[in-house]
Amino acid sequence: MKHFTFFVVAVAAIACLAAFIVPLPGHADRATATYLTEIPQGYRGWKWISSAHEAGNLNSLGAVLANDIAFKALQEGKYPFPDGAVIAALHYKHVRSDENNKVFGQAQSFVPGPPTNVQFMVKDSTKYAATGGWGFGHFQNGKPADALFMKPCFPCHQKAGGTDLVFTHYAP
């Protein structure tokens, strides 16, 4: 809590904006995939980078997590991310917590509801050279999105104001 300066570090907060909006991924074309077709193992136990609330139609509350390689880069402020860095964005519906509100005595509390999707950015500067060194992934019900669905990810992430195509800032 001593560090009040934000590291201006960007991470896939909202990864693949268009993908996020279109709700139903189909089958991935595994033969020509330049995006992820398998969910990286163990991501649920990774370290927290930041939380994200998307209002409006998305109505999403989520978290962005990092594996150890990505987290080390974030904490040390060393960019671009090294190969092996993986970032995960876990999204849920933004729902009211009646349980918490009863204790608070007023309606104010919102928590993650049903999961909606999980997205990834995997750094491999050789394999994903065509997309800035990042492989993008979007999974719904454990199934990967297809090529058409994934196409907007890279151009959108090029608009990220942060570091190395990543949107999310590390929360201190």
Q: For binding to a copy of itself (CB under 8 A), which residues are involved? A: 1-2, 4, 13-14, 17, 39, 44-48, 50-58, 61-63, 65, 71, 90, 92, 94, 99-100, 102-104, 106-112, 114-115, 117-118, 139-142, 156, 159-162, 167-169, 171-172
Cβ-based nearer residue to a copy of itself, 33 or 39: 39
- Smallest distance from the beta carbon of 126 to a copy of itself, in angstroms? 28
Cβ-based nearer residue to a copy of itself, 34 or 110: 110
- Smallest distance from the beta carbon of 172 to a copy of itself, in angstroms? 6
Distance CA 38, CA 120 (A): 10
Distance CA 145, CA 40 (A): 15
Distance CA 38, CA 48 (A): 21
Distance CA 40, CA 51 (A): 20
Distance CA 33, CA 161 (A): 27
Cβ-based nearer residue to a copy of itself, 76 or 129: 76
- Smallest distance from the beta carbon of 76 to a copy of itself, in angstroms? 13
Cβ-based nearer residue to a copy of itself, 114 or 130: 114
Cβ-based nearer residue to a copy of itself, 127 or 140: 140
- Smallest distance from the beta carbon of 13 to a copy of itself, in angstroms? 7
Place of tokens 């860095």: 85
- Smallest distance from the beta carbon of 155 to a copy of itself, in angstroms? 11
Distance CA 52, CA 89 (A): 9
32-44 per-residue burial string, b: 16 or more CB within 10 A, e: under 16: ebbbbbeebeebe
Type and span of the H or E element at 27: none
